[in-house]
Chains A and B, each alone.
Chain A
């Protein structure tokens, strides 16, 4: 666990381009760290620059707290919305001048109103939410030994992970890990908000690798690593299965394999 990640996608920083050239910005905040956002100026510096005339110089602050984050709204007139893009319409409204409103979502989109049609928004990820181990529910957990890499089994990234692991879980051990298009097809119509795009599936895989399992850095000195440096998705599948993060019972989360014996995953 290590705080939150703030991500301003390319070109989302407002009509005036936001950050120089409208580039994407990613900030990583450790527990207790603060990022300010707004239009910014020489006298009111901000970490996240949002260029829209309707946004104040200092529009708000994000503070990483424990495993979640808090939003402070510096505006005296506008409410900000924090949407859960995976939450089927779940959102929070943070009223003007509210200090430190806690945000419970793992994925959030902070939306700031503008005068035009184009809203300004950025994303905040809180990958450190802790989940109880399945065999540890219904008991005090404070001093328990827990899995340190906990996954939200209701999140889309978990579905993607189960789909990645499916061939291996179904004992087709020789089958290669599914490709992104195969996963898009496998999850088709099952994910809230319709079929995920290939780009969405790729970002879920990146999120799993970098924020959840943290396998981004490959250590060549590790035994057995040097000679066979696996691809990222092979690595994710290997770890998820080895450490029981994905198990046979999770296959039930996937749509049942398409009927009529059309078992795509099976080699012929």
Chain B
């Protein structure tokens, strides 16, 4: 066998000893080492005395985390990999700020001629967290905490997915906790913006959190395809870990063995066996996240899971917490009710649970519409757009909240083609749903409603992430709203 030659040594030096405490980096002074990853080292830092006015905002934080990504001594192609990773983090930090994502304050290139190892390193200045979910799991987490943690992760994912991003490396190490215990997703080095239904990431990941389809995924010019359902799979693993003292639902002593078990399960040769320590509600939720194929997982969007968690809390009578923080105005976008009622819901409590879930979907949807309004979506203009409330002329459907299929309304794929069966997206909408509209098309196919109202006006509306189409068309007869919107480009042109 040829002895490995060449690549050794250059990588053996200890990357973790890059910056001594007290060292000034930009407007910050390093206080201690937090941790080291493959390409980066993270330090705690405090603001330097006499730093530039305005740096870090008027009331700067007492402490930040500095993520240092050295590029010195790397071949251009390796350096590019690191720059790309930093670029992803910065792009996401600027585009998708949210209380459930770790905040990025600034980024700069470090000039430190006296420390060649970090000269030219990329520095990301981030919110300082108190610890990670992994540390919390290792230390032991209390029963009531668990549901809240998962809900927080779910909120973060729902926001990312709504904004058109996939995290692609969700694991307890990357779920950080603020001093107040709030959940904050971090490490967006692999996060990718979706183009259409999927994005591409470099061929990397953490073995224990890769969905079955990733093990056979081909490597393409742009990397490996990922879809939001990959994050949902990882969420399923994390849910299990949170309730089962940090263990994966898949058997095996090593990540490679567990990866093999994931594939056996994905190919239908082994059942999913979860720890009985996971309470039934969370087991059902995790089982849906861990559906073996992308197609089976796709209906379980972060948003629909969030709705189920909220509904679960409401039915379990956890005081006022369940429906507390959200406003009650408006209604949700279509699709959020995808899992109501679930196939596992049986017995007398079913009706009440279903209703609570609808309510939750409505509540989460409102938040979604507001948060999602700054989302930039491929092929859809970045303007905030307006909202249109769905109107169903069938009076019998107007006061029903059960989302009966009979009362649902369709959305067209192409407003220039006849509004018939083949031209309707799978997503249905109901009376009272509030949809985000991007633009208007004044001269589409004429549509006549049940009350003989006729219109050729259509609105292009956004669909929830994970839908078969990113957007669809609502005929203007299906809403009373007429928001001021730009004209749409002619579809298919």
Contact = CB atoms under 8 A, between A and B. Distances in A.
A206 interface: no
A3 B77 CA distance: 31
B58 interface: no
A216 B210 CA distance: 21
Given A1-B215, A148-B204, A247-B75, A252 B5 contact: yes
Nearest to B264: A32
A6 B11 CA distance: 36
A213 B217 CA distance: 9
Nearest to A141: B255
Contact of B2 (A3, A144, A147, A253): A253
Interface in B198-236: 202-208, 210, 214-224
A44 interface: no
A243 B219 contact: yes
Contacts of A253: 2, 4-6
Contact of B256 (A30, A66, A156, A222): A66
B67 interface: no
Nearest to B77: A244
Given A32-B269, A149-B219, A135 B11 contact: yes
A155 to B, nearest CB: 8
Interface string A129-151: 01001111111001111111100
Contacts of B206: 143-146
B379 to A, nearest CB: 13
A142 B6 CA distance: 26
Contacts of B207: 130, 146
B261 A31 contact: yes
Contact of A222 (B169, B215, B221): B221
Contacts of B217: 214
Contacts of B203: 147-149, 243
A217 to B, nearest CB: 6
Contact of B11 (A134, A149, A238): A134
A217 B260 CA distance: 23
A65 interface: yes
Interface string A198-239: 000000000000000111110100111100000000010011
A179 B77 CA distance: 24
Interface residues of A, number: 62
Contacts of B15: 135
A249 interface: yes
A90 B216 CA distance: 30
A131 to B, nearest CB: 11
Given A249-B7, A252-B5, A30 B263 contact: yes
A249 B256 contact: no
Contact of B221 (A64, A67, A137, A239): A239
Contact of A143 (B4, B7, B173): B173
A86 B217 CA distance: 27
Interface string B30-46: 00000011110000000
Contacts of B223: 243
Nearest to B15: A135
- Report the contact-size class of chain B (Cβ under 8 Å from the partner): 35 or more
Interface string B260-276: 11011001011000000
B294 interface: no
A2 B6 contact: no
B161 to A, nearest CB: 20
Contacts of A145: 37-38, 169, 189-190, 204-206
A5 interface: no
Nearest to B195: A223
Contacts of A159: 2
Nearest to B16: A139
B208 A214 contact: no
A92 interface: no
A88 B220 contact: no
Given A2-B216, A214-B216, A147 B6 contact: no
A133 B38 contact: yes
B192 to A, nearest CB: 14
A46 B353 CA distance: 53
Contact of A135 (B1, B39, B210): B39
A65 B39 CA distance: 31
A215 B217 CA distance: 9
Contacts of A154: 1-4
Contact of A2 (B10, B215, B222): B215
B24 interface: no
Contacts of B208: 142-143
A204 to B, nearest CB: 14
A159 B5 CA distance: 11
Contacts of B210: 148
Given A67-B260, A249-B6, A192 B204 contact: no
B205 A148 contact: yes
B257 interface: yes
Contacts of B1: 86-88, 90, 154, 192
Contacts of A219: 218, 220
Given A146-B207, A243-B219, A32 B270 contact: yes
A154 to B, nearest CB: 5
A137 B252 contact: no
A250 B260 contact: no
B6 A143 contact: no
Nearest to A212: B219
Interface of A: 1-3, 30-33, 64-67, 86-88, 90, 130, 133-139, 142-149, 153-154, 156, 159, 190-192, 213-217, 219, 222-225, 235, 238-239, 241-244, 247-253
13 contacts: A30-B267, A30-B269, A31-B263, A130-B207, A139-B36, A144-B38, A148-B224, A214-B219, A217-B218, A239-B221, A244-B78, A244-B81, A252-B7
Interchain residue pairs A-B with the least CB separation, the first 9: A252-B6, A31-B260, A214-B218, A32-B264, A66-B257, A248-B75, A66-B260, A134-B11, A249-B7
Given A33-B269, A247-B75, 15 more contacts: A1-B256, A32-B264, A130-B256, A144-B37, A146-B206, A146-B207, A147-B204, A148-B203, A148-B214, A190-B2, A213-B218, A215-B220, A235-B221, A239-B220, A244-B77
